[in-house]
Amino acid sequence: MQADTIAALAAAAARDIRAELGLRPIINVSGTMTVLGASIMVPQAVAAMAAIAGEFVEMDHLHRAASKVVAQATGGEAGFITASCAGAITLAVAGTLTGDRLLAIERLPDTSGLKNEVLVQIGHLVGYGASLQQTIEMTGARVVTVGTVSGAHAYQLDEAITANTACAVFVVSHMTVQYALLALEDVCRICHAKGVPVIVDAASEYDLRGFLARGADLVVYSGHKFLGGPTTGIVAGRAPLVHAASLQNRGIGRGMKVGKESVAGVMAALQAWMKRDHAAIRLREDAALRLWQACLRQFADLSCECVPDPTGNPLQRLRVRVLPGSRWTARTLADALATGDPPVMVRDYQTDLGYVDLDPCNLHPGEAEIVARQLATRLREPSEITQCGIAPLSRSGECA
């Protein structure tokens, strides 16, 4: 790395840019939430972005290099980088509508003469700051729902497939209905029998290889959540479909393109991911959970337990439940922590069920101890301080 790049990175690390911009120095125990900036970018990504920022490159060549890195990390045939995971969904769907036909790409969202139906189980029609249905229908496609919110059956998916079906979208998220829906393997088996490709939305998932191995044709990931890269979306899978998605930059994807800095940054994040000591990270996270549990045992009106991630990501969160008779509610507790000094932002989208979760995956060194102190301090204060009027994360519709 050039000396001036190292010096620039050191200077950036020494700055408190949040204070310069008038922003609160929050501590994130909510998780990989876009509304909080998603994740801490890994040093390798920061360095790669800084190194390429002052240089000219041939973007097509850079994208081809990125495709190889994505393929290596995911086991796919090829990969493509776009502006966000939501953008990746839109472009992946668009690619199944148009293939590599340039005139069709230029005409979207006009889908005249194209297959334009996209199958989605009703229990997968989530919102993540925007709605999945809108994200798909930006292409000009029409969402065809399968099943009911409480379940879906194989015959319902099979009979929903018509001559106009372009693809099916399968969502992996804690926000989906978590029971009685068709599994990915079943969706792939039914769709592939009729030549219909399956796209998996795995924005917040840790497993970069499993969904393709289970039969998906394309998988889309966030580059800036667990990976710790810049804000990007990653499309991985079958080469012809990835190519068709990438060609959408000649049409509706133009507004979803990424600069050289983001492409280089997510490439570096993927390469770092393949070398990361994931076991050591789990140990640090588990230590934070134990610390918080020990802190909260002194409060008889709360109960705590470690809960596994609902979609199988290899991490746990501490669920803090407010018991009947407490002067607190889950909502007022979340708001109290959010107004502390420093503010602690908890995972609060299920406060109506009486609990908040504490997620340790985005902590800087020393922050687990600060969170413990803030928990103890705020819980000992009068509950009147919780009437703060802060808009909770859950009201944003944001999804991890």
Q: Nearest CA to 228 among 45, 13, 36, 25?
A: 45
Which pLDDT does position 390 carry in this prediction? 34
Contact criterion met (CB below 8 Å) for 49 and 9: no
Q: What is the DSSP string of 209-259?
A: SHHHHTT-SEEEEESSSTT--SS-EEEEE-HHHHHHHHGGGGTGGGGG---
Which pLDDT does position 280 carry in this prediction? 92
Local structure of 178: helix, strand or coil:
coil
From residue 151, alpha-carbon distances to 106, 127, 181, 189 in Å are: 38, 18, 5, 18
Largest CA distance in the chain: 67
Residue 222 has a CB neighbour count (10 Å cut-off) of: 27
From residue 218, alpha-carbon distances to 25, 54, 243, 299, 380 in Å are: 38, 33, 11, 48, 50
Which pLDDT does position 260 carry in this prediction? 96
From residue 340, alpha-carbon distances to 24, 125, 159, 306 in Å are: 11, 35, 54, 24
Q: Please indicate, yes or no, whether the overall pTM of this predicted structure exceeds 0.85.
A: yes
In order of their start, the domains of the chain are: 8-37+277-396 (3.90.1150.180), 43-275 (3.40.640.10)
- Residue 311 DSSP symbol: T
Alpha-carbon gap, residue 131 to 125, rounded angstroms: 7
Q: Nearest CA to 201 among 245, 170, 222, 176?
A: 170
Q: What is the DSSP string of 180-193?
A: SSPPHHHHHHHHHT
pLDDT values of the chain reduced to their tens digit, one per residue, 400 residues: 555 555 555 555 567 887 888 888 889 998 878 787 778 889 999 999 999 999 999 999 999 999 999 999 999 999 999 999 999 999 999 999 999 999 999 999 999 999 999 999 999 999 888 999 999 999 999 999 999 998 999 999 999 999 999 999 999 988 888 899 999 999 999 999 999 999 999 998 989 999 999 999 999 999 988 899 999 999 999 999 999 999 999 999 999 999 999 999 999 999 999 998 889 999 999 999 999 999 999 999 999 999 998 888 888 999 999 999 999 999 999 999 999 889 999 999 889 999 999 999 889 999 999 999 999 999 987 654 433 333 333 333 343 4
What are residue 157's phi and psi, to 5 degrees?
A: -70, -45
